[in-house]
Chain A
Amino acid sequence: MFQNYLKTAVRNLLRQKLFSFINIAGLAVGLAAFLLILLFVRDEMSWDRHWGGGENIYRVETTIQFPVREDRPTSNTATPVKDLLLDTYPEIGDVTRYLAGSATFQQSGDLFSERVAFAETNFLDFFGFRFLHGSAETALEDQNSIVITQQISEKYFQDEAPLGKTLSLRVAGEFRDFIVTGVIENPVRTTHMRVDTIVPFNREYFQGARWFTDDWRFAIWLTYVRFAEGANVAAVQADLPAFIERHMPKNAGGQETGREFSMKLNLVALSDIHLYSNVATADAGTLYGFVGIAFLILAIAVVNFLNLSMARVAHRAREVAMRKVVGAQRSQIIQQFLGESLFLVVISVIVALVLVEISLPHYSEFLTSVIEMNLLGEPSLMAAIVILCVGVGLSAGSLHAIYFSMMRPRDVLYSNTSPDAGGSKLRLGLVVAQFSISVALMTIAFFVNEQTEYSRTMDLGFNDQNLIVVAGTNNTNSEEFKNRILQSPFINAVGRSSDVPTEGSEDRLTIRPVSAGETVTLDALPTGPDFFRVYQIPLIAGRYLNDSEQDTLRRREQNAQYQAAANIVVNESGARLLGFDNPADAVNQVMRADITSERVAETRIVGVVKDFHFDSARDVIRPGIYYIDYMRHSDMSVRIDGNNRDAAIGVIEQVWRELFPGRVLNYRDMSELVERQYQADTRLADMLTAFTILAISISCLGLYGLAAFTVERRTREIGIRKVLGADLLDVLMLLLWQFAKPILIANLIAWPVAFFFINDWLDGFAYRIDLNLVPFVMTGLLALVIGWFTVAGHAFLIARANPVRALRYE
């Protein structure tokens, strides 16, 4: 019996090669897309699941809250929190923490910058790092010990045994020797904790820093707690606000952080850090969106499969009728066709797996990730695919299995026409469903691409080209560094600031407007005199700041103090916030600004610059105030000659080596910083486009199959029409209208759905494109045109056929 089923199934496949190909290819491509998306999502959701006992480990994160500005979420906690947590909650069994930093390594005259974790001694044991050499218990016992990863070991010691070897690190301003006491495995790709070298934390390295005091304002530690097995984590989380209330000192003043603040502590499970922490590196919402798309594509593919199978009913009706005549029961017919459907699905899955295997390397490259599929090594994945097979096979096969089982043989055996299985309404409905999904995806993809392009090409208000940002320049030597590189013909200008565009500013200033009334808060940026000229930010009233005494709020000197009065610059939004709708009116106005909790300065606006993006381009431009503070010049922005880029960078490198021996030059390209902001959106847009094209292709495969089917079914009707006088054009119109209908209906369903999703997504952008009807109509027309192209060949074929032949075929 089974053999007979298999035989008929295989011979049917071979007889109807086009149908079979479309059927299998459509499902295989759909399944492949489904698997690719889910593999990506699974990878993103599988971060930090490899730690032993990791399910009980949580990171304690701080969100600092200010009354007049948005919260500042961080991944860190302040120093006092650790002991207080241990004392307060018996559920917490252990705590460890480290400071993520970097240091210059010196190796036979060469300098390298490496990531360094300044960790508490229980750190290695807490996370159960796997040691290739040495052991977790003793590795950090000595203050001058260092644990390194395998790749660091290979980089510095090649094949030599690393234990006992010396590494020279620059800490606290001088090179010190550390002895390698352990080598751990390289960090896995899917972890938030990227440590390359680990040294015991030593307060001495950070003399003068306020971080490691009892001051709650400085959250710098990455703090991890391990709960006892079965502890009620939610209860501890719920008690944390009260914990803060009890322990955090009230009314703690501060300079950079503003005057008043409170904080919120959050326990983030280790496996949630990638997606849900304060500094999440991926967006769970987007991932779920892609899961949705994966299932939609699968749905399209299954509908396709179903539709094409239904179209083939006519070919099989006689066989089924005959089987019934000779005694087949309903259940046997159902078995046969479900089995056949499963058989096709299994073939499709095998093809899909091959497709996935082939595309994985390119896919990984596109995602700048490593997506893997290891079926034999992952029984759960294998099981999921088997379940998928059975699910798709049964759902796709059930409709025609049931139809055939219900069919009465006399309707087939004595009639000359083939039965129209499931009714044309059902098939129409299926095509509508497919195209609804396709058109909705198409519309969404269009707007996502539009918005991405809009963001990328948006005028940021400054010129990001040929701009190099050199970090670590907040020191006495940097002024000479600046003057020396400016002597090169390849260096056009140099500006100073505490932060640079795309990074946002941590500083806020509270100002009393001239008009009295409520104080207002502006984003503050300590700069140098040349900042605006280097960034080419236009002036719209007054003048730029210069290096004069009156324009300087703080000089670089021992025990530098803020001046009691200084000139400042604001941006357009800042001027407006201060009550000047006309920027020119703001010039020469004097206001009192709270520079620190103790220092109030008289500030005179001497210039108003055009608004420019300082935070992410996703955010709205905020009111800004700019002043000269020579003690806050961490970044140096260098405008170079774009035609001599290498030479310019060569000059920077050379002067750096001469002035800062023993320190690694660290520079970034501003245009890359800008580009990086759009990376996630660009990737989203590209991925969406790719999968949308796939979805449409699969839908078209289905439509193509249906067109072929129609040719077969309507030949006689068309023949009669032609005998009665219809010409080629009439017939062509008739057929094209038949295929236009489902696509047009699909548009009506897809538009509101697409509108809802896209509007919601665009709301996340401060500067967004407007939605208008034209792209909706255009994607609808495009779908129609694609649909027509798909069926045109068949329509033309049937329309041109000789009517006599069609009728005689009867």
Chain B
Amino acid sequence: MLKLHNLSKVYQTDEVETVALDNVNIEIESGEFVAIMGPSGCGKSTLLNIVGMLDSPSSGDYIFMDENVAGYPESKLSNIRKQNIGFIFQSFNLIDELTVEENIELALLYHNIPASERRERVARVMDKVGIAHRAKHMPSQLSGGQQQRVAVARAVVGDQAMILADEPTGNLDSAHGQEVMEMLQSLNAEGTTIVMVTHSPAHADYARRTINLFDGHVVTENLRAAV
């Protein structure tokens, strides 16, 4: 699916140079469920951003589906991203002014899909994550767990091959957290590649592989037998 080769990211401010990622080499196969762990500031989110094409590396190669996207301009990245990658955030990032249904539909709006098909796909995915009864509600009327389910629905409605989840359970209680993890697991079972950043070892256990980052380096990779 993707391969990072000698990838580095350096943040330059007026006086300080911060190395967020230092010669990282990672390969992720199609259909994998990978957890990225590590202490605060180790570069987890930077890594996820680069993988999600929300940020560009300072040096090194990023091969995504046999294409080196490292130097691509924003518009090209945006196109690859919308075809292939879905995002789930810790803080949900739902749009307050749109209903559940409309939030999910947003992910299809920029795909030139006719309205009738959009409605159909949104309905299907809402059923899948069990939020259909809240279709006309505003995000502020939902619990955290429900909001994250909407976010998951939004991430997969476009049939994305890969989902990037940045601490998807960070803002949820344990019961709701588990619910979301199970949802990710079942998506993975259907073939979606999942890359997830998490602080929780218990939630990392849902993944087949865990990558531990420390100060911008990959320190260990643990492979786990399928649960």
Residues of A within 8 A of B (CB): 1, 4, 7-8, 11-12, 15, 318-319, 321-330, 332, 408-410, 413-414
Instruction: Choose among B54, B91, B97, B110 the residue that contacts A319 (Cβ–Cβ < 8 A).
Output: B97
Chain B 44-101 residues near chain A, CB threshold 8 A:
45, 49, 52, 54-55, 74-75, 78-79, 81-83, 87, 89, 91, 93-98
Question: In the complex, what residues of A have CB within 8 A of residue B79's CB?
Answer: 327
Q: Does B128 reach chain A (CB closer than 8 Å)?
A: no
| CB <8 Å contact, B93 and A321 | yes
Check A8–B78 contact: CB distance below 8 A. no
A737–B28 Cα gap in the complex (Å)?
A: 55
Cβ contacts under 8 Å, B82 to chain A: 326-327
A324 and B78 within 8 A (CB): yes
Provide the bound-state CA to CA distance between A321 and B94, in Å. Answer: 11
Q: Which of A1, A4, A318, A327 contacts B78 (CB 8 A)?
A: A327
- B159 to A: closest C-beta gap in Å: 13
Within 8 Å CB of A15, what residues of B? 96-97
Q: Are B110 and A329 in contact (CB under 8 A)?
A: yes
| Docked complex Cα distance between A1 and B112 (Å) | 9
Pick 26 A–B contacts, CB within 8 A, sort by A.
A4-B106, A4-B109, A7-B98, A7-B102, A8-B97, A8-B98, A12-B97, A15-B96, A319-B95, A322-B93, A322-B94, A322-B95, A323-B106, A325-B87, A326-B106, A326-B110, A327-B79, A327-B81, A327-B83, A329-B78, A332-B110, A408-B54, A410-B49, A413-B89, A413-B93, A414-B166
Q: Report B89-135 residues with CB < 8 Å from chain A CB.
A: 89, 91, 93-98, 102, 105-107, 109-111
Residues of B within 8 A of A410 (CB): 49, 54-55
| Contact flag A8-B95 (CB < 8 Å), given A329-B75, A409-B54 | yes
| Assembly CA distance A409 to B91 (angstroms) | 14
Contact residue among B78, B97, B105 (Cβ-Cβ distance under 8 Å from A328): B78
5 closest A-B pairs by CB = A327-B82, A11-B97, A327-B110, A326-B107, A410-B54
**Minimal Cβ-Cβ distance residue in B for A412:** B93
Residues of B within 8 A of A (CB): 45, 49, 52, 54-55, 74-75, 78-79, 81-83, 87, 89, 91, 93-98, 102, 105-107, 109-111, 154, 158, 166
Which A residues are in CB contact (< 8 Å) with B105? 4
Q: A330's contact among B74, B93, B98, by CB below 8 Å, is which? A: B74
A1 to B102 alpha-carbon distance, docked (Å)? 11
Q: Which residues on B sit within 8 Å (CB–CB) of A319?
A: 95-97
**Beta-carbon nearest neighbor of A327 in chain B:** B82
Q: Which residues of A are found within 8 Å of B102, using beta-carbon distances?
A: 4, 7
Complex Cα–Cα for A11 and B95 (A):
11
How far is A319 from B55 in the complex, measured between Cα atoms in Å?
18
- Whether A1 contacts B97 in the complex (CB less than 8 A), given A325-B81, A326-B154, A414-B166, comes out as no
Most chain A CB atoms below 10 A, which of B83, B97, B158: B97
Least CB distance from A626 to B in Å reads 82
Q: Output the least CB separation between B132 and chain A (Å).
A: 20
What is the CB-to-nearest-CB distance from A680 to chain B, in angstroms, rounded to a whole number? 53
Known: A8-B95, A8-B98. A322 touches B106 (CB 8 A): yes
- CB neighbours (8 Å) of B111 from chain A are 327
Q: Which residues of B contact A8 (CB under 8 A)?
A: 95, 97-98
Question: Bound state CA distance, A321 and B81, in angstroms?
Answer: 13
Q: Does the CB pair B89–A328 fall under 8 Å?
A: no
Judging by beta carbons under 8 Å apart, are A330 and B75 in contact? yes
Asked if residues B109 and A325 are in contact (CB atoms below 8 Å), the reply is no
A11 to chain B, nearest CB (A): 4
A323 surroundings in chain B (CB, below 8 A)? 106, 110
Shortest distance from the beta carbon of A339 to any chain B beta carbon, whole Å:
14
A8 to B75, CA, bound (A): 24
Distance, CA A432 to CA B107, complexed state (A):
41
B109 to chain A, nearest CB (A): 6
- Structural contact, A318 and B97, CB atoms closer than 8 A: no
Contact B75–A11 (Cβ < 8 Å): no
Residues of B within 8 A of A408 (CB): 54-55
Residues of B within 8 A of A318 (CB): 93, 95
Residues of B within 8 A of A7 (CB): 97-98, 102
B residues in contact with A326, CB < 8 Å: 82, 106-107, 109-110, 154, 158
User: Known contacts A318-B95, A410-B49; can you find 11 more A-B pairs with CB under 8 A?
Assistant: A8-B98, A323-B110, A325-B54, A327-B79, A327-B107, A328-B78, A329-B110, A332-B110, A413-B54, A413-B89, A414-B49
In the complex, what distance in Å separates the CA atom of A332 from the CA atom of B110? 9
Bound-state Cα–Cα, A4 to B54, Å: 24
Report the separation of the CA atoms of residues A291 and B66 in the bound assembly, to the nearest whole angstrom: 63
Report how far A15 CA is from B97 CA in the complex, Å.
Answer: 8
Contact of A414 with B45 at beta-carbon distance under 8 Å, contacts A15-B96, A325-B54 already known? yes
Question: In the assembled complex, which residues on chain A have CB atoms less than 8 Å from the CB atom of B49?
Answer: 410, 414
Please give, as numbers and ranges, the residues of chain A lying within 8 Å of B52 by CB-CB distance. 325
Give the CA-CA distance A12 to B138 in the complex, in Å. Answer: 13
* Closest residue of B by beta carbon distance from A328: B110
Whole-angstrom distance between the Cβ of A10 and the nearest chain B Cβ? 9
Q: Establish whether residues A11 and B93, one from each chain, have CB atoms under 8 Å apart when the complex forms.
A: no
Q: Chain A residues with Cβ under 8 A from B109's Cβ?
A: 1, 4, 326, 328
The closest CB in chain B to the CB of A1 belongs to: B109
Q: How far is the CA of A4 from the CA of B105 in the complex (A)?
A: 10
Query: What residues of chain A lie closer than 8 Å to B54, measured between beta carbons?
Result: 325, 408-410, 413
What is the CA–CA distance of A328 and B74 in the complex, to the nearest angstrom?
A: 11
Bound CA–CA A327/B107 (angstroms): 8
CA distance A11 to B102 in the complex (A): 13
Rounded to whole Å, the gap between the CB of A497 and the closest CB of chain B is: 78
Q: Which residue of A lies closest to B106 (CB)?
A: A326
Q: In the complex, which residues of chain A have a beta carbon less than 8 angstroms from the beta carbon of B74? A: 330
> Which residue on B lies nearest to A8, using beta carbons?
B97
CA separation between A413 and B145, bound complex, in Å?
19
Cα separation A797 to B154 with both chains bound (whole Å): 39
A543→B101 CA distance, assembly (Å)? 100
- When distances are taken between beta carbons in the complex, the residues of chain B under 8 Å from A330 are 74-75
CA distance A512 to B89 in the complex (A): 101
Please measure, in the bound complex, the distance between the C-alpha atom of A496 and the C-alpha atom of B133, giving whole angstroms: 98
Q: B110 — which chain A residues lie within 8 A by C-beta?
A: 323, 326-329, 332
A327 cross-chain contacts in B, Cβ below 8 A? 78-79, 81-83, 107, 110-111
A319 to B93, CA, bound (A): 8
- How long is the Cα–Cα vector from A326 to B158 in the complex, in angstroms? 9
Q: Which residues of B contact A11 (CB under 8 A)?
A: 97-98
**Residue from the set A1, A322, A326, A414 with the largest chain B CB neighbour count within 10 Å:** A326
Residues of A within 8 A of B93 (CB): 318, 321-322, 413
Most chain B beta carbons < 10 A, residue from A318, A325, A328: A325
Closest to B80 in A: A327
Specify which chain B residues have a CB less than 8 angstroms from the CB of A329 in the assembled complex: 75, 78, 110
A332 and B158 CA atoms in complex are apart in Å by: 19
Residues of B within 8 A of A324 (CB): 78
* Residues of chain A contacted by B75 (CB below 8 angstroms): 329-330
CB-CB < 8 A to B94: which residues of A? 322
Contacts of B45 in A (CB 8 A): 414
C-alpha spacing A322/B79, complex, angstroms? 14
CB-CB nearest in chain A for B52:
A325
Smallest Cβ-Cβ distance to B151: which chain A residue: A322
A408 to B52, CA, bound (A): 13
What residues of A have a CB within 8 angstroms of the CB of B166 in the complex?
414
- Inter-chain CA distance A519–B101, complex, in Å, is 97
| Complex Cα gap A259–B151 (Å) | 98
- A321 to B110 CA separation, bound complex (whole angstroms): 14
Q: Which residues of chain B have C-beta atoms less than 8 A from A1's C-beta? A: 109
Closest chain B CB from A518 CB (angstroms): 78
* B82: nearest chain-A partner, CB-CB: A327
CB B38 to nearest CB in A, in angstroms, measures 16
In the bound complex, residues from chain A placing their C-beta under 8 Å from that of B154 are 326
A319 to B94, CA, bound (A): 8
Q: How far is the CA of A7 from the CA of B98 in the complex (A)?
A: 8
* CA gap between A409 and B93 in the complex, in Å: 11
Complex formed: what's the CA distance from A11 to B55 in Å?
Answer: 31
Bound form: Cα–Cα A7–B105 in Å: 13
The interface residues of chain B lying within 8 Å CB-to-CB of A332 are: 110
